[in-house]
Amino acid sequence: MSDFALVSKLQKKRLTKSIIFFFFLISLAAFGSKSSSDVLANQEDSNAKTASPKHDHITFGQRVNDRRKMVKKQIIARGITDPNVLNAMRVVPRHFLVRPGDSKRAYYDRPIPIGYGQTISQPFIVAYMTEAIKLDANSKVLEIGTGSGYQAAICGEIAKEVYSIELIEQLAEKAKTRLGKLGYENVTVRHGDGYFGWKEKAPFDVIIITAAAGFVPPLLIEQLKPGGILILPLGSPYGNQTLVRITKDKTGKIMSESLLPVRFVPMLGQIIKDKRQGTK
């Protein structure tokens, strides 16, 4: 074979290897781009599932100054400092969650009747309880006693997921409708007896009970995650009540702390039957 032929053959081999390597790089780049896109898409899907409300309902733009005054005079002035709680209280349109005839009084420093013997708690108590349960963006919350849906909405502004149970069916349906209109996709409301909790969604980082009970339902303690917090008004439904924060440590040990005297409507349902039967 001549030197020319040998050189020509070597050049062809090099060219072939170069072409193969070139297509390998293109494939690698395409694979990497696709993988990055998939990761980004997955991240976006994950974020979409836990995104906060868009606040595009007309009521979010109404009575903004009333909410700012409420936060300044009723909440900050009494020592609430958690920025997430303060922001949530400034955002949620409380006037949309009360009966139309009570809208004018929505931001007053007092509870307001919502029908069926129930009330929406005064703004300070809602803020106090929310700060006490130490919510963050990853919190999974169980609320016992949806009522108007206001406390659930406040929690929904901060937490990842909120599950709320209401014993009175009419209130449950109204709250579900209103919260849906406001865009709280991370808040789920159902009609039922909160005494039994929500086993299918347990365990919870936080459980908040918005009605007075003489004792803590055992199933709720079971559904509280180790390291979690449960808060409730503890005491006689028609006598002295104390807001109590209960924590479960990593080993399952239960500890309680009295916070302040309060007055809530009584918890109804199975807890009444258990009390009459002496079951605790």
Lowest mean pLDDT among 42-56, 93-107, 147-161, 192-206: 42-56
How confident is residue 2, by pLDDT bands cut at 50, 70 and 90?
Answer: very low
Helix (H, G, I), strand (E, B) or coil at 232: strand
Q: What is the pLDDT of residue 29?
A: 42
Q: What is the pLDDT of residue 274?
A: 80
Convert the pLDDT of each residue in 252-276 to its tens digit.
999 999 999 999 999 999 998 886 5
Give yes or no for a cis peptide into 203 (omega within 30° of 0): yes
Average pLDDT rounded to a whole number, residues 218-236? 97
Domain 58-277 fold is: Rossmann fold (3.40.50)
Convert the pLDDT of each residue in 101-155 to its tens digit.
999 999 999 999 999 999 999 999 999 999 999 999 999 999 999 999 999 999 9
Q: Above 90 in pLDDT, residue 32?
A: no
Going across the sheet that includes 254-262, the strands are 187-191, 161-166, 140-144, 204-209, 224-235, 241-248, 254-262
**Is-catalytic flag, 37?**
no
Q: Count Cα neighbours of 41 within 13 Å in the Cβ-side half-sphere.
A: 6
| Choice between 158 and 25, residue whose per-residue pLDDT is larger | 158
Q: Above 80 in pLDDT, residue 27?
A: no
Identify residue 100 by its one-letter amino acid code.
P
Task: Please enumerate in sequence order all residues whose Cβ is within 8 A of that of 269, keeping only pairs 6 or more positions apart, or say none.
Answer: 167, 193, 194, 195
| Domain segments of the chain as ranges | 7-49, 58-277
How confident is residue 61, by pLDDT bands cut at 50, 70 and 90?
Answer: very high
**Helices (DSSP H) in the chain: which residue ranges?**
3-49, 64-70, 83-91, 123-132, 150-158, 169-182, 218-222, 270-277
Burial label for 193, CB within 10 Å (0-12, 13-18, 19+), is middle
Identify the active-site residue in 36, 121, 256, 258.
121
Which of 170, 158, 152, 277 is CA-nearest to residue 215?
Answer: 277
Whether this model's pTM surpasses 0.85: no
- Tokens 């106090």, residue? 128
Convert the pLDDT of each residue in 87-102 to its tens digit.
999 999 999 999 999 9
How many angstroms separate the CA atoms of 90 and 268, rounded?
31
- Whether residue 150 contacts residue 94, with contact meaning beta carbons closer than 8 Å, is answered with yes
Q: What is the pLDDT of residue 277?
A: 59
How confident is residue 51, by pLDDT bands cut at 50, 70 and 90?
Answer: low
